[in-house]
C-alpha cells in the first residue's frame, strides 16, 4: 500500500503514546446542567485533552466529528489557522526537534495531525466511524494519512459539502464551491443508521398474500426503447432485445 512520507514523520508516529496522561480539573463555576449526564466541555490543548480522556472513553465512542485547521495560512479567523503560529512552532520544536526548522507548511500540518488522529482512532468502538471536514488545501494529504492510520479498507466516503451556491466575487480561476467530509470506519462492524421510512413510503407496499418476507409492491417489467441504432451525438447503441410492440423487457425473463 502506498505510504505518505514527510519531514518529521518518524518523530511523530509514536508521539501520541509518549504524551503523558493528565488529570482533568473540574470548574464548578463554569459547570451547568446535570453532573451525571456525561457531557464534558474540555478547555486546553486538544492533544493533552484527548490523552486525559482516553482512560475513560477508549473503544467506547461510536461517532467522532472534527473540524481541524484547514492550513490556509489565514490568521484572521476565530482560531489561528496558520501552522507558523508561535504555539505551533513551540510544539513542533518539542515533538520533532531540530528538523522542525526545515519543515514546509504541509510537513507541519501533517506532524500536527498524525498524533491527534492516532489517539482518536483509539477512542472508536469497533462499529464506530469518524467524519472530518477539510478543504482542498490538505484533503489529498489527509486521505492518505487516514489510510495509514485507519486502514485503506475502512474508507467509507468523501462527501462533497456545498458551502456556497456561486463563486466568490474575487474568483480568478475556478470558483471554490464545496468542502470535503472524509468518513472512515473503525472496522467492518460499522453499520449505517438508516432513516426511518415515512408513512407515505411504507403505504406503497402491501402484503396481500402474507409473504413471509414482508410487504411488497408490483413493478412494471417493461420499458420503452427511446432510441434506434447508433446516435453519434449521444454515443448510444441500439439494444438487441425482443420487442413487445413499442416496449422491451426491463428484466431478463430467466432471472424471474
- DSSP codes, 37-99: G------S-HHHHHHHHHHHHTT-EEEEEE---------SSSS---TTSHHHHHHHHHHTGGG
pLDDT of residue 87: 65
- The stretch 99-111 carries a mean pLDDT of 78
- The stretch 129-158 carries a mean pLDDT of 96
Q: Extract the C-alpha cell encoding 140.
A: 489529498
- Domain layout of the chain by residue ranges: 9-32+40-185, 197-256
Does domain 9-32+40-185 correspond to CATH entry 1.20.120.850? no
For the CA atoms of 112, 12, 185, 196, the dihedral, rounded to the nearest 10 degrees, stands at -30
Share of the chain above pLDDT 70, in %: 77
pTM of the model: 0.74
Tell me the pLDDT tens digit for each residue of 73-88: 665 544 444 556 666 6
SS3 content of the chain, % helix, strand, coil (to 5): 30, 15, 50
pLDDT of residue 107: 86
Tell me the pLDDT tens digit for each residue of 226-244: 545 555 566 555 555 555 5
Q: How confident is the model at residue 31 (pLDDT cuts 50, 70, 90)?
A: confident
Amino acid at each position: 500500500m502506498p505510504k505518505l512520507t514527510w519531514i518529521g514523520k518518524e518523530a511523530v508516529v509514536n508521539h501520541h503514546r509518549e504524551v503523558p496522561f493528565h488529570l482533568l480539573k473540574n470548574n464548578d463555576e463554569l459547570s451547568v446542567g446535570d453532573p451525571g449526564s456525561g457531557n464534558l466541555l474540555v478547555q486546553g490543548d486538544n492533544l493533552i485533552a484527548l490523552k486525559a480522556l482516553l482512560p475513560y472513553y477508549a473503544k467506547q465512542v461510536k461517532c467522532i466529528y472534527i473540524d481541524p485547521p484547514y492550513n490556509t495560512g489565514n490568521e484572521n479567523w476565530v482560531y489561528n489557522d496558520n501552522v507558523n503560529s508561535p504555539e505551533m512552532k513551540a510544539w513542533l520544536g518539542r515533538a520533532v526537534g531540530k528538523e522542525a526548522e526545515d519543515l514546509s507548511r504541509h510537513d507541519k500540518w501533517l506532524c500536527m495531525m498524525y498524533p491527534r488522529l492516532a489517539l482518536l482512532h483509539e477512542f472508536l468502538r469497533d462499529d464506530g466511524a469518524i467524519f472530518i471536514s477539510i478543504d482542498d488545501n490538505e484533503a489529498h494529504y489527509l486521505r492518505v494519512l487516514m489510510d495509514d492510520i485507519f486502514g485503506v479498507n475502512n474508507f467509507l466516503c468523501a462527501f462533497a459539502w456545498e458551502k456556497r451556491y456561486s463563486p466568490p466575487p474575487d474568483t480568478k480561476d475556478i470558483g471554490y464551491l464545496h468542502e470535503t467530509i472524509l468518513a472512515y470506519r473503525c472496522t467492518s462492524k460499522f453499520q449505517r443508521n438508516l432513516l426511518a421510512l415515512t408513512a407515505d413510503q411504507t403505504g406503497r407496499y402491501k402484503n396481500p398474500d402474507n409473504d413471509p418476507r414482508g410487504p411488497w409492491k408490483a413493478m412494471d417489467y417493461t420499458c420503452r426503447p427511446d432510441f434506434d441504432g447508433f446516435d453519434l451525438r449521444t454515443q448510444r447503441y441500439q439494444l438487441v432485445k425482443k420487442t413487445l410492440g413499442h416496449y422491451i423487457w426491463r428484466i431478463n425473463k430467466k432471472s424471474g
